[in-house]
Amino acid sequence: MEMQSVYETHFPFWKDLCDADRQLMVENTTRVFFEREQSVHDNTRCTGLFIVKSGRLRIYMLSEEGKEITLYRLMPGDVCMLSASCVLSAITFDVYVDAEEPSECYQINPQAFHSLSERIPAVKIFALETAVTRFSDVMWIMQQIVFMSMDKRLAIFLLDELSTTGGDTVTMTHEQIARHLGTAREVVSRILKIMAADGVLEVARKGIRITDKKKLQQIAH
Protein backbone atom coordinates (compact mmCIF):
# COMPACT_ATOMS: atom_id res chain seq x y z
CA MET A 1 0.00 0.00 0.00
CA GLU A 2 2.81 2.38 0.90
CA MET A 3 4.47 1.91 -2.49
CA GLN A 4 1.23 2.67 -4.34
CA SER A 5 1.11 6.15 -2.89
CA VAL A 6 4.82 6.71 -3.56
CA TYR A 7 4.30 5.82 -7.20
CA GLU A 8 1.17 7.93 -7.51
CA THR A 9 3.05 10.94 -6.16
CA HIS A 10 6.19 10.58 -8.26
CA PHE A 11 5.12 8.99 -11.50
CA PRO A 12 2.68 11.01 -13.63
CA PHE A 13 2.15 7.89 -15.76
CA TRP A 14 1.04 5.74 -12.82
CA LYS A 15 -2.69 6.37 -13.33
CA ASP A 16 -2.44 5.03 -16.90
CA LEU A 17 -0.71 1.76 -16.05
CA CYS A 18 -2.68 -1.49 -16.14
CA ASP A 19 -2.70 -3.72 -13.06
CA ALA A 20 -0.08 -6.09 -14.48
CA ASP A 21 2.37 -3.24 -15.10
CA ARG A 22 1.74 -1.78 -11.66
CA GLN A 23 2.46 -5.20 -10.24
CA LEU A 24 5.70 -5.34 -12.28
CA MET A 25 6.83 -2.03 -10.77
CA VAL A 26 6.02 -3.11 -7.23
CA GLU A 27 7.89 -6.40 -7.64
CA ASN A 28 10.93 -4.60 -8.98
CA THR A 29 11.20 -1.99 -6.26
CA THR A 30 13.28 -2.44 -3.14
CA ARG A 31 13.80 -0.21 -0.17
CA VAL A 32 17.47 0.60 0.39
CA PHE A 33 19.44 2.48 3.04
CA PHE A 34 22.73 4.30 2.56
CA GLU A 35 25.13 5.53 5.21
CA ARG A 36 26.58 9.01 4.99
CA GLU A 37 29.19 9.08 2.15
CA GLN A 38 28.25 5.59 1.00
CA SER A 39 28.38 5.07 -2.76
CA VAL A 40 24.94 4.76 -4.34
CA HIS A 41 26.03 4.41 -7.96
CA ASP A 42 29.27 4.28 -9.93
CA ASN A 43 30.10 3.73 -13.57
CA THR A 44 30.55 -0.04 -13.29
CA ARG A 45 26.89 -0.89 -13.75
CA CYS A 46 23.39 0.38 -14.45
CA THR A 47 22.15 0.59 -10.88
CA GLY A 48 18.57 1.63 -11.47
CA LEU A 49 16.25 4.50 -10.66
CA PHE A 50 16.07 5.90 -7.16
CA ILE A 51 13.28 7.78 -5.49
CA VAL A 52 14.72 9.65 -2.52
CA LYS A 53 12.57 9.10 0.57
CA SER A 54 14.81 10.82 3.10
CA GLY A 55 18.35 12.16 3.21
CA ARG A 56 20.28 13.67 0.32
CA LEU A 57 22.10 12.30 -2.73
CA ARG A 58 24.95 14.01 -4.53
CA ILE A 59 25.49 13.49 -8.27
CA TYR A 60 29.01 14.22 -9.45
CA MET A 61 31.61 13.67 -12.12
CA LEU A 62 34.88 11.93 -11.27
CA SER A 63 38.10 12.11 -13.27
CA GLU A 64 40.60 9.29 -13.66
CA GLU A 65 42.86 11.17 -11.24
CA GLY A 66 40.13 11.28 -8.60
CA LYS A 67 39.14 14.93 -9.10
CA GLU A 68 35.43 15.61 -8.54
CA ILE A 69 32.80 18.18 -9.33
CA THR A 70 29.26 18.22 -7.96
CA LEU A 71 26.56 18.51 -10.64
CA TYR A 72 23.46 18.64 -8.47
CA ARG A 73 21.82 17.20 -5.37
CA LEU A 74 18.61 15.23 -4.95
CA MET A 75 16.31 15.79 -2.00
CA PRO A 76 13.36 13.79 -0.64
CA GLY A 77 10.81 13.39 -3.43
CA ASP A 78 13.36 13.66 -6.23
CA VAL A 79 13.96 10.88 -8.75
CA CYS A 80 17.50 9.88 -9.72
CA MET A 81 17.47 8.96 -13.40
CA LEU A 82 21.13 9.17 -14.44
CA SER A 83 21.97 6.14 -12.29
CA ALA A 84 19.83 4.20 -14.77
CA SER A 85 21.45 5.43 -17.97
CA CYS A 86 20.88 2.02 -19.57
CA VAL A 87 17.19 2.95 -19.66
CA LEU A 88 17.95 5.86 -22.01
CA SER A 89 20.20 5.05 -24.94
CA ALA A 90 20.75 8.77 -25.65
CA ILE A 91 22.73 9.08 -22.40
CA THR A 92 26.32 8.15 -23.16
CA PHE A 93 28.10 9.54 -20.10
CA ASP A 94 28.70 8.31 -16.58
CA VAL A 95 28.01 10.05 -13.33
CA TYR A 96 28.63 8.99 -9.75
CA VAL A 97 26.14 9.16 -6.90
CA ASP A 98 26.89 9.24 -3.16
CA ALA A 99 24.68 9.68 -0.12
CA GLU A 100 25.54 13.00 1.53
CA GLU A 101 23.48 12.10 4.56
CA PRO A 102 22.03 8.82 5.82
CA SER A 103 19.46 8.26 3.07
CA GLU A 104 16.50 6.01 2.48
CA CYS A 105 15.52 5.37 -1.13
CA TYR A 106 13.32 3.23 -3.30
CA GLN A 107 15.41 1.49 -5.92
CA ILE A 108 13.73 0.37 -9.14
CA ASN A 109 15.28 -2.36 -11.26
CA PRO A 110 16.50 -0.75 -14.51
CA GLN A 111 15.65 -3.71 -16.76
CA ALA A 112 12.05 -3.76 -15.55
CA PHE A 113 11.76 0.00 -15.97
CA HIS A 114 13.38 -0.18 -19.39
CA SER A 115 10.91 -2.79 -20.64
CA LEU A 116 8.05 -0.63 -19.37
CA SER A 117 9.44 2.49 -21.02
CA GLU A 118 9.79 0.70 -24.36
CA ARG A 119 6.16 -0.38 -24.27
CA ILE A 120 4.53 2.70 -22.76
CA PRO A 121 5.32 6.14 -24.23
CA ALA A 122 4.28 8.00 -21.06
CA VAL A 123 6.95 6.11 -19.09
CA LYS A 124 9.63 6.97 -21.62
CA ILE A 125 8.54 10.61 -21.66
CA PHE A 126 8.84 10.71 -17.87
CA ALA A 127 12.35 9.23 -17.97
CA LEU A 128 13.50 11.63 -20.67
CA GLU A 129 11.91 14.68 -19.04
CA THR A 130 13.60 13.85 -15.74
CA ALA A 131 16.95 13.64 -17.55
CA VAL A 132 16.36 16.92 -19.41
CA THR A 133 15.56 18.68 -16.13
CA ARG A 134 19.00 17.61 -14.90
CA PHE A 135 20.49 18.91 -18.15
CA SER A 136 19.23 22.33 -17.03
CA ASP A 137 20.93 21.91 -13.64
CA VAL A 138 24.20 20.94 -15.29
CA MET A 139 24.06 23.94 -17.64
CA TRP A 140 23.79 26.21 -14.61
CA ILE A 141 26.92 24.62 -13.10
CA MET A 142 28.67 24.87 -16.47
CA GLN A 143 27.83 28.56 -16.65
CA GLN A 144 29.34 29.06 -13.19
CA ILE A 145 32.52 27.18 -14.08
CA VAL A 146 33.17 28.94 -17.36
CA PHE A 147 31.99 32.45 -16.67
CA MET A 148 32.26 33.09 -12.93
CA SER A 149 35.18 33.73 -10.65
CA MET A 150 35.81 31.21 -7.90
CA ASP A 151 34.81 33.65 -5.12
CA LYS A 152 31.41 34.14 -6.79
CA ARG A 153 30.98 30.36 -7.18
CA LEU A 154 31.94 29.81 -3.55
CA ALA A 155 29.44 32.46 -2.43
CA ILE A 156 26.67 30.78 -4.46
CA PHE A 157 27.63 27.41 -3.01
CA LEU A 158 27.55 28.66 0.60
CA LEU A 159 24.15 30.35 0.06
CA ASP A 160 22.75 27.15 -1.50
CA GLU A 161 24.01 25.17 1.49
CA LEU A 162 22.37 27.57 3.96
CA SER A 163 19.05 27.42 2.13
CA THR A 164 19.20 23.60 2.13
CA THR A 165 20.26 22.99 5.70
CA GLY A 166 18.90 26.12 7.39
CA GLY A 167 20.79 27.99 10.12
CA ASP A 168 23.83 30.20 9.54
CA THR A 169 26.62 27.62 9.50
CA VAL A 170 27.98 25.38 6.76
CA THR A 171 29.48 22.35 8.48
CA MET A 172 31.93 21.22 5.85
CA THR A 173 35.69 21.10 5.64
CA HIS A 174 37.51 23.22 3.06
CA GLU A 175 38.50 19.95 1.39
CA GLN A 176 34.84 18.92 1.01
CA ILE A 177 33.84 22.29 -0.43
CA ALA A 178 36.78 22.11 -2.85
CA ARG A 179 35.59 18.72 -4.11
CA HIS A 180 32.09 20.09 -4.74
CA LEU A 181 33.53 22.96 -6.77
CA GLY A 182 36.14 20.94 -8.63
CA THR A 183 39.05 22.97 -7.28
CA ALA A 184 41.94 22.66 -4.81
CA ARG A 185 41.54 22.99 -1.04
CA GLU A 186 44.11 25.81 -0.99
CA VAL A 187 41.95 27.90 -3.32
CA VAL A 188 38.92 27.53 -1.06
CA SER A 189 40.93 28.32 2.06
CA ARG A 190 42.42 31.44 0.48
CA ILE A 191 39.02 32.85 -0.59
CA LEU A 192 37.45 32.03 2.79
CA LYS A 193 40.30 33.88 4.48
CA ILE A 194 39.62 36.98 2.38
CA MET A 195 35.87 36.74 3.06
CA ALA A 196 36.59 36.40 6.79
CA ALA A 197 38.78 39.52 6.68
CA ASP A 198 35.89 41.33 4.95
CA GLY A 199 33.54 40.35 7.79
CA VAL A 200 31.36 38.11 5.61
CA LEU A 201 31.96 34.94 7.62
CA GLU A 202 33.91 33.27 10.40
CA VAL A 203 35.95 30.14 9.86
CA ALA A 204 35.77 27.94 12.94
CA ARG A 205 36.60 24.34 13.72
CA LYS A 206 32.99 23.22 13.44
CA GLY A 207 32.39 24.94 10.11
CA ILE A 208 31.88 28.24 8.37
CA ARG A 209 29.50 30.66 10.07
CA ILE A 210 28.00 33.34 7.82
CA THR A 211 27.95 36.61 9.73
CA ASP A 212 26.89 38.96 6.90
CA LYS A 213 24.52 37.19 4.54
CA LYS A 214 23.75 40.38 2.59
CA LYS A 215 27.42 40.84 1.74
CA LEU A 216 27.65 37.18 0.69
CA GLN A 217 24.65 37.69 -1.59
CA GLN A 218 26.35 40.71 -3.12
CA ILE A 219 29.38 38.58 -3.98
CA ALA A 220 27.07 35.94 -5.48
CA HIS A 221 25.16 38.36 -7.71
Pick the closer one to a copy of itself by CB: 136 or 206.
Answer: 136
Nearer to a copy of itself, 44 or 63 (CB): 63
**Least spacing, CB of residue 205 vs a copy of itself, in Å:** 30
Q: How far is the CB of 60 from a copy of itself (least distance, A)?
A: 10
Identity of the residue, 122 or 196, whose beta carbon is nearer to a copy of itself in the bound complex = 122
Which residues of the chain form contacts with a copy of itself (CB under 8 A)? 61, 63-65, 67, 69, 88, 90-93, 121-122, 124-125, 128-129, 131-136, 138-143, 145-147, 182
Cβ 71 to a copy of itself shortest distance, Å? 8
Helix axes 150-165, 121-147, angle to 10 degrees: 130
DSSP for the chain reads: -HHHHHHHHH-TTGGG--HHHHHHHHHTEEEEEE-TT-EEE-TTS---EEEEEES-EEEEEE-TTS-EEEEEEE-TT-EE-GGGGGG-TT-----EEEESS-EEEEEE-HHHHHHHHHH-HHHHHHHHHHHHHHHHHHHHHHHHHHHS-HHHHHHHHHHHHHHHH-SSEE---HHHHHHHHTS-HHHHHHHHHHHHHTTSEEEETTEEEES-HHHHHHHH-
Residue number, 132 or 203, with CB nearest to a copy of itself: 132
Q: Based on CB atoms, which residue is closest to a copy of itself, 118 or 198?
A: 118
Closest CB 107 distance from a copy of itself, rounded Å: 22
Nearer to a copy of itself, 205 or 221 (CB): 221
- Shortest approach of a copy of itself to residue 207 CB, angstroms? 25
Q: How far is the CB of 211 from a copy of itself (least distance, A)?
A: 29
